[in-house]
Structure 1
């Protein structure tokens, strides 16, 4: 720490540290992260000596290394502590670091989107979220930003267009759009932290996350609707090995799993295993509906033909095929 730093600056740093500490402490409790002691912060000291402020600054750097990106994401999307002020302080804390790691970039990327989500006008359509508007909302943390974006970031808009065209999560995952987005952010290196780049990536990540959740809820609702329809057709079990469940999975259990997913996926934004299971389960249910429909139409068609010939039909109702999905 520079010993010539004015007292007003030190006082400002200490206020920020005290405002961040409750959030860090709550996050550590939730994920059982053992924090090193920081006595002046714990005691709520009003005006600590310079050395204590330097120790506190190092304390936050050490703790940041222990907190994983997914933990920060899950915590901030479920805690009542995620106020606009708290998000702004967290962002400023990470942005003011002298050196940024890949984890810092991922945290800043999430925090920018979360801050934008909290501060933006509700009910916005995708077309309303242009760079000028994003820059305006993020101005309290990034300052005034000239909007023209470097040509190298044009791929972000292309990826958003491709994601918008996806019909379900399976198509989104198969296209590897999420992975391409992560690679794009990593490819720019430290240039990510240039304000205009952060505005562009915040817009990209917000739109991509919005598309992601839209498809996720669409798939969940499609599965639940499909399960109800299958039950009405007399189906009680499905072969869900493709989705990493059993060969005879009860529909009642699948419904309970989908309801629990609605809660779990609220704070999730990735192409991890549970979400791939969701996408595969949608495929399983759609295939079962298709087979069930064909099986129920076949006897009706043959019965109609028998009636034309003046013969009584003795064809029994066909059982629904619930064998392995071959697709």
Structure 2
């Protein structure tokens, strides 16, 4: 990981020290054992060539040990992961002569993160052009000439599917995220070409926007459904298929959904917590349908051995009032 610029060695060395400071914080957060680097610890200015080499080796070693999921969490939760850190880290990865799969994943994440922070808040949707993305990323990628690439055309089809999805379940079952990752994985060194980086940054940004839109939509649908069930006197749901209890309190489910609004600001994926969210929406919608079929203002508990996938049990308004 050669990071020192011959044209401005002092600025380049400061970038290395910035990375060093952030990596130390990251190593403490994830209990990654490492020894300090005396040269990078020093504040006496640019060291000798040997000192620079030792600093570069330290950073390269840490880079190999830090996994992409750790970097994602650190960037999204640490105050040290500021714009300068993101730019310095991305620059280091782009300057590598040889790239690994881990480099590709980190570059992909960093580009989307940097673009998300720099893009105007009103930019969203497939109408976002490659030229607009290239302009926003120009400070780090330089001037990028946008040219047609047939092998990138499937990204546009996937974006269309993502924005037509009506909920998270539809987004996940269409495997848009996985197909996008497959295109990246099969791109090889072409991924690191400037025009490809712009295309993948646009794709990642727009899929992330679609994901968060659907996530909040699902959460709001669940919360609205829980309020409707409570209004009918329902106090517990059988949500075992969503990995909750057979008699999960509606009030607790509502609190969990509120906490998820914060937790799910992490990097999008079709991971286990989000699968639970999808299953919980199904549980709530099934409970609402069951209550509607019963036609009663207060749905009563169904038998424990019922064939219903998600059962509804009832309670009094007094119990709800004690939340």
Same fold (TM over 0.5): yes
Aligned pair 1:42/2:41, yes or no? yes
Counterpart-to-counterpart distance in 2, 1:217 and 1:52:
50
Q: Is the 8 A contact 1:291 1:320 kept in 2?
A: no
Q: Which runs of 5 or more residues in structure 1 are unaligned?
A: 300-316
Q: Equivalent residue of 2:295, what SS?
A: helix
The residue number in structure 2 matching 1:311 is none
The residue number in structure 1 matching 2:160 is 161
The residue number in structure 2 matching 1:204 is 203
Instruction: Name which of structure 1's ranges 99-108 and 121-130 shifts more when overlaid on structure 2.
Output: 121-130
The residue number in structure 2 matching 1:319 is 300
Q: Equivalent residue of 2:234, what SS?
A: coil
Counterpart-to-counterpart distance in 2, 1:84 and 1:147:
25
The residue number in structure 2 matching 1:76 is 75
Q: Equivalent residue of 2:264, what SS?
A: helix
Q: Is the 8 A contact 2:124 2:206 kept in 1?
A: no
Aligned pair 1:272/2:271, yes or no? yes
Q: 1:191 to 1:38 in 2, by over 3 A?
A: same
Within 5 Å, give how 1:5-20 maps onto structure 2.
Answer: 8=7, 10-20=9-19
Q: Which runs of 5 or more residues in structure 2 are unaligned?
A: 311-323
Counterpart-to-counterpart distance in 2, 1:6 and 1:32:
32
Task: Measure how far apart 1:128 and its partner are.
Answer: 4.7
Task: Measure how far apart 1:33 and its partner are.
Answer: 1.9
The residue number in structure 2 matching 1:122 is 121
Q: Is the 8 A contact 2:91 2:140 kept in 1?
A: yes
Counterpart-to-counterpart distance in 2, 1:41 and 1:238:
56
Within 5 Å, give how 1:107-256 maps onto structure 2.
Answer: 107-256=106-255
Q: Is the 8 A contact 2:39 2:54 kept in 1?
A: no
Task: Measure how far apart 1:127 and its partner are.
Answer: 4.6
Count of residues paired in the alignment:
307
Q: Is the 8 A contact 1:239 1:324 kept in 2?
A: no
TM-score by length of 1: 0.88
Counterpart-to-counterpart distance in 2, 1:230 and 1:7:
67
Aligned pair 1:292/2:291, yes or no? yes
Counterpart-to-counterpart distance in 2, 1:269 and 1:28:
23
Q: Is the 8 A contact 1:237 1:251 kept in 2?
A: yes
Instruction: Name which of structure 1's ranges 122-131 and 244-253 shifts more when overlaid on structure 2.
Output: 122-131
Counterpart-to-counterpart distance in 1, 2:295 and 2:192:
59
Q: Is the 8 A contact 2:87 2:140 kept in 1?
A: yes
Instruction: Name which of structure 1's ranges 126-135 and 108-117 shifts more when overlaid on structure 2.
Output: 126-135
Q: 1:47 to 1:163 in 2, by over 3 A?
A: same
Q: Is the 8 A contact 1:292 1:321 kept in 2?
A: no
Counterpart-to-counterpart distance in 2, 1:324 and 1:104:
49
The residue number in structure 2 matching 1:54 is 53
The residue number in structure 2 matching 1:28 is 27
The residue number in structure 2 matching 1:308 is none
Q: Equivalent residue of 1:236, what SS?
A: strand
Q: 1:325 to 1:170 in 2, by over 3 A?
A: farther
Over aligned residue pairs, what C-alpha RMSD do you find? 2.2
Counterpart-to-counterpart distance in 1, 2:154 and 2:105:
19
Task: Measure how far apart 1:34 and its partner are.
Answer: 1.9
Q: Is the 8 A contact 2:235 2:250 kept in 1?
A: yes
Task: Measure how far apart 1:267 and its partner are.
Answer: 1.4
Q: 1:320 to 1:141 in 2, by over 3 A?
A: same
Q: Is the 8 A contact 2:242 2:283 kept in 1?
A: yes
Q: Which has the larger radius of gyration?
A: 1
Counterpart-to-counterpart distance in 1, 2:86 and 2:186:
26
Instruction: Name which of structure 1's ranges 10-19 and 206-215 shifts more when overlaid on structure 2.
Output: 10-19
Q: Is the 8 A contact 2:162 2:171 kept in 1?
A: yes
The residue number in structure 2 matching 1:66 is 65
